[in-house]
Amino acid sequence: MSRRNMIIAALAVALVIGGAYVSSQQDDRFDDGAEVDGEPAPESTLIAIQDCPYGEASCILAQGIERALRSGNVDAVMEFGAPTFYICPGPGRSDSPSPLCDRVGADQGREGYPIRSRFGPQAIVPPEVLRATLQAFVDAVQPETQDEVGPGLLALYAFSCTQKAFPAQNLSCAREGIILSAILDRGQRPHRELLVFWAEGGFGGRTLPFTELWEGGLLEAEVSVLFETGGELEDLGEVDVIDQSLPR
């Protein structure tokens, strides 16, 4: 084997080992047997979604987010997230993560999350801005309203996948969307919006914490795909609808 091929092989092995380690560090956050404050966690009731397409860990993550948001506990939702660490290139740079690194000197590190409207630009924001975004969404929910989809209550409706996993990851989706929806009142007439948490797949067959958030409206032609039949959407990928008749 040539020296170049030996180096490439060594790097590949290191990548797999490193990914497995990171995944193992996150397993306890979504494992039914994980301990909480030194005490064994009670048996999870979050496995009631029988048609969860990407495994039990995805169900636990998705329903944990749903239940925390329904109770208005945004801080609990933040515990399911993992910000990305960025090295700021300096003010005025076109490649600067904005607004996270605005007015920040070169080579300074900041933690942030990508957030975006489905039909708008992306921003990289610090965790406190993500938290405020989630709080604003929760505060605008109108649970007593109704539309053709159902009640206005915030609920988990679907999963989606935009990046299939490769065999070494031991799972089916490397980047999955957890799709929630509610009817909101943001100062205009109440209307339905989406809230999508993007989670990355790890090497150990587990779903890592969410790393990105999307919010925004939906087109009339997308309603059946998102809430009834499933199917392909350009930005959300392959959509799998959750059976709403199952207990959650």
Q: In the chain, what are the domain boundaries?
A: 44-83+114-241, 84-111
pLDDT of residue 70: 95
The CATH class given to the 44-83+114-241 domain equals alpha beta
Residue 107: CA count within 13 A, CB half-sphere: 0
pLDDT of residue 212: 96
All residues at 6 or more sequence positions from 139 whose CB lies less than 8 Å from its CB, including other chains: none
- Under the banding of pLDDT at 50, 70 and 90, the label for residue 40 is very low
pLDDT tens per residue, range 108-154: 999 999 999 998 899 999 999 999 999 999 999 999 999 999 999 99
Name the residue with higher pLDDT: 40 or 100. 100
- Model-level pTM? 0.77
Listed range (31-45, 75-89, 182-196, 217-231) with the worst mean pLDDT: 31-45
pLDDT of residue 76: 96
Burial state string for 92-111 with b = 16 or more CB within 10 A and e = fewer than 16: eeeebbbebbeebeeeeebe
pLDDT tens per residue, range 201-220: 765 556 678 999 999 999 99
pLDDT of residue 50: 57
